[in-house]
Chain A
Amino acid sequence: GNSVTQMEGPVTLSEEAFLTINCTYTATGYPSLFWYVQYPGEGLQLLLKATKADDKGSNKGFEATYRKETTSFHLEKGSVQVSDSAVYFCALRRGTALIFGKGTTLSVSS
């Protein structure tokens, strides 16, 4: 079936450190892939997306590349800020619904 696997958190970094959050997926066909972010006490917001192989989604300094050969969509940011502290969810589309990974909590300290 379709599923998303994310690295276990929490991830704790100092400000300006490099961030990678791994995400791999299992799916039939070529699903669209997404990263959503949930700030404390809020709903989810779309961070970036990619709809086909080799597409790179980017937003707010975050990037992720759709890798069909490794079925991966890892999230990266070159220099994190305290304001990036949140829970990050990798997701794929199955029909009309999103299938989410379990989320990775990122904590950035100054």
Chain B
Amino acid sequence: DTAVSQTPKYLVTQMGNDKSIKCEQNLGHDTMYWYKQDSKKFLKIMFSYNNKELIINETVPNRFSPKSPDKAHLNLHINSLELGDSAVYFCASSQDGTRLYNEQFFGPGTRLTVL
């Protein structure tokens, strides 16, 4: 059973397009996250949701909008894609985001390439 799943695994698209990446977790966790990993493998938090409410929104362009229809899903919608958006996007979840030692479980990643 896949704990945190993401679709699609690969996404190749043209500049200016709008695209979405979906994430689902079947662990019953309360908190979900989106991270971005750039070409140098540097990972940075983008968003965090706890029970469908946004609790972290780092300095991410407004073109990125997370949507959480329920506790088990956190989708990432990106408008007007730019070359610099090319990266690997990881979804993650944890049992209770407020507990500092709780492990975050990561999805397999979505490699986005903007041409």
Contacts and interface: CB of A to CB of B under 8 A. Distances in A.
A51 interface: yes
Interface residues of A, number: 24
Contacts of A103: 41-43
Nearest to B96: A96
Interface in A5-39: 31-32, 34, 36, 38
A93 interface: yes
Nearest to B43: A100
B77 interface: no
Q: What's the dominant secondary structure at chain A's contact region?
A: strand
A89 interface: yes
A62 B109 CA distance: 25
A54 to B, nearest CB: 15
Contacts of A34: 103
B100 A93 contact: yes
Contacts, number: 59
Contacts of B104: 46, 98
A31 B42 contact: no
B33 A45 contact: no
A45 B45 contact: no
Contacts of A99: 45
Contacts of A32: 100-101
A105 B40 CA distance: 11
Contact of B42 (A95, A97, A100): A100
